[in-house]
Structure 1
Amino acid sequence: MADTCEEDGCAEPAAVRLHVPWSENLEVCTSHARSRAQKDGVVAEPLEDADAEWP
């Protein structure tokens, strides 16, 4: 599990696992999850032990 967001240049804590059918799963912060989860087929799953709160 990633401690920080897997988006390049982001140092926020990872709070969401994105299941991406055409690529590898990603663990990202809530801000990046919000935009990426709007694509068809992507499923967002909150990480249970994340310190960040889901907005």
Structure 2
Amino acid sequence: MACSEPDCERPAAVELHIPWAENRLVCAAHARVLGRRDGIVADPFPERADDLLE
């Protein structure tokens, strides 16, 4: 499954739980940036843990 952010073809590694919108499946790079916003909870996929270390 690919990252849901536009123009990103990396594999999704994290589900972002966003209170004011639908949850999103994003790559590790986008999760690092978007997960810093207040209220967003990042839930990593255990099988994609290696992607989070890059």
Q: TM-score, normalised by structure 2?
A: 0.88
Native 8 Å contact 1:13 1:52 kept in 2: no
In structure 2, the gaps of 5 or more residues are none
Aligned pair count reads 53
Q: Which has the higher helix share?
A: 2
RMSD, aligned α-carbons:
1.4
Q: Which runs of 4+ in 1 moved over 6 A?
A: none
Alignment deviations for residues 11-52 of structure 1 (CA, whole Å, 9 cap, x no partner): 000000000000000000000000000000000000133375
In structure 1, the gaps of 5 or more residues are none
The partner residue of 2:29 within 18, 24, 31 is 31
Partner of 1:53: 51
> Whole-Å Cα distance in 1 between the matches of residues 39 and 21 of structure 2?
11
Percent of pairs with identical residues: 43
Partner of 2:9: 11
Q: TM-score, normalised by structure 1?
A: 0.86
**Gap change, CA 1:14 and 1:52, over 3 Å in 2:** farther
